[in-house]
Amino acid sequence: MRTTLTERTEPRPSLSQRLDRMGEARFGLLLLIPTALVLLVFLALPLAYAAAMSLFRIELTVSPAWRWAGPGNYISLLGERAVRESLARTLAFAALTVGSSVSLALGAALLLNEPFRGRGFARVLVLLPWAVAPVVAGVLWRYLFHSNYGLVNALLYQAGLIPAYRVWFDSAPVAILIAALATAWKTLPFLALIILARLQSIPEALYRAARMDGAGAVARFRHVTLPQLRGILIFAVVMQTIVALQSFDLIFTLTRGGPGQGTVLLSYLVFINAFERLSLGTAAAMAALLTLLIVLLGGLTPLLIARRPRRERQDG
């Protein structure tokens, strides 16, 4: 009874009231704390941990000891043939992936922007690959090109284009190409979606003005549509480069790195070093270089988009 009396005479502020009396900055920082803790322990700490590991020789197959190596892992990486080959493969894969997915996505976006019956349905159906896990996409494309029961073999055979079923994955360049197409299949919906949104936001007045200046359909496309898409296309190229450089899941189920080392991209090489050879120091150094490459590339996007040629800047 007594406690309730004292509370009545001198009410203690509730948590919500205390929050309301706090300064705006303090309140905001307070809200950031839970997320900051999670990200510190499970994102920043592993990152720093990996960076530290990259400076040691850690061969778990030999001993659990960490032996100081300084920049040794990084130096030996650059001299290793497997790394150089994998880097070349990764760059080729990235070029194929970016080229095919951005051009296909641009085509798809332009198409889905045209008026036709069933357009709403088509726009929904096209989303399908976005929902599919990269690992599952690898399985799908593996079965699509399977040597015994692949749809591609069946169709080409019945069309008379190949005399017998082919083994597609026995050639490294073909396997890389299939992996790039499968990656393009998976990311096309997202890229097409953002390009389509940009297309829809191009002001009609620009087209009218171009028409009054006597521009034909092709000229309007070249001088109005394409320049307006420039920023989003650069964004798409950079996003897709990041996706390509990070690629692992899809390759894991599509080819398992084969034939031989034929589809072992950099991230896959990190995986092999870390979890098959248990050379954690080497793996960490390799992963650190890959991360650096990705962050630098990703950081370029805003710069590239900002540097839009003034001549084409008609919306400002």
Partner 1 sequence: MASAMPWLRPGAVYALVALLLLWTVAPVAWIATMSVQPEINYVSVPPRLRVEQTSLRWYAATLAEPEFVAALRTSTIVATATMLLCVTLGALTAYPLARLNVPHRNLYLTLSVTARMVPAMILIIPMFLILRGLRLLDSHLGLIIVYTAFLLPYVIWMLKNFFEQVPYALEAAARMDGCSRLGALVRVIIPVTAPGVVATAVFAFIGAWNEFLFGLILSTRVAVPVTVKLSSLVSTTFHSDTSLVAAAGMLALLPPVLLVFVLNRFIVRGLVEGMKY
Nearer to partner 1, 185 or 262 (CB): 185
- Please give the single-letter amino acid code of residue 48: A
Distance set, CA 81 to CA 78, 116, 181, 246 (Å):
8, 53, 27, 21
Region 31-50 residues binding partner 1, contact defined as CB under 8 A: 31-32, 34-35, 38-39, 41-43, 45-47, 49-50
CA-to-CA separations, 290 to 209, 245, 296, in angstroms, rounded: 47, 8, 10
Q: Residue 212 or 218: which CB sits closer to partner 1?
A: 218
Could you say which DSSP state residue 316 is in? -
| 105 belongs to the binding site for partner 1 (CB under 8 A) | no
Which residues between 68 and 87 bind partner 1 (CB under 8 A)? none
Task: Supply the minimum distance, in Å, between the C-beta of residue 250 and partner 1.
Answer: 9
Near partner 1 by CB under 8 A: residue from 72, 74, 85, 139: 139
Residue reference for tokens 């976005």: 130
Beta bridge partners of 279: 59
Q: Which of residues 206-265 bind partner 1 (CB under 8 A)?
A: 207, 217-218, 220-221, 225, 235, 242, 245-246, 248-249, 252-253, 256
Distance CA 198, CA 200 (A): 5
Number of residues located near partner 1, criterion CB under 8 A: 109
Residue 10 beta carbon to partner 1: minimum distance, rounded to whole angstroms: 21
Quick one: 176 or 284, whose CB is closer to partner 1? 284
Nearest to 135 by CA among 239, 248, 243, 246: 248
Contact with partner 1 (CB under 8 A) among 78, 95, 127, 162: 127
Q: Which amino acid is at 316?
A: G
User: Shortest distance, CB of residue 233 to partner 1, whole angstroms?
Assistant: 14
Closest approach, Cβ 49 to partner 1, in A, equals 4
CA dihedral 306, 307, 312, 316 (to 10 degrees): 40
Residue 163 is a binding residue for partner 1 (CB under 8 A)? no
Token pair 């320049």 is found at: 227
- Using CB under 8 A, which of 59, 66, 99, 157 touches partner 1? 157
Q: Is 147 in the site for partner 1 (CB under 8 A)?
A: no
The span from the CA of 179 to the CA of 250, in Å, is: 8
Per DSSP, the three-state class of 68 is strand
The residue range among 67-75, 94-102, 124-132, 172-180 that interacts with partner 1, by the rule CB under 8 A, is 124-132
Is residue 257 within 8 A of residue 251, CB to CB? The reply is yes
Residue 257 or 262: which CB sits closer to partner 1? 257
Beta carbon nearer to partner 1, 29 or 82: 29
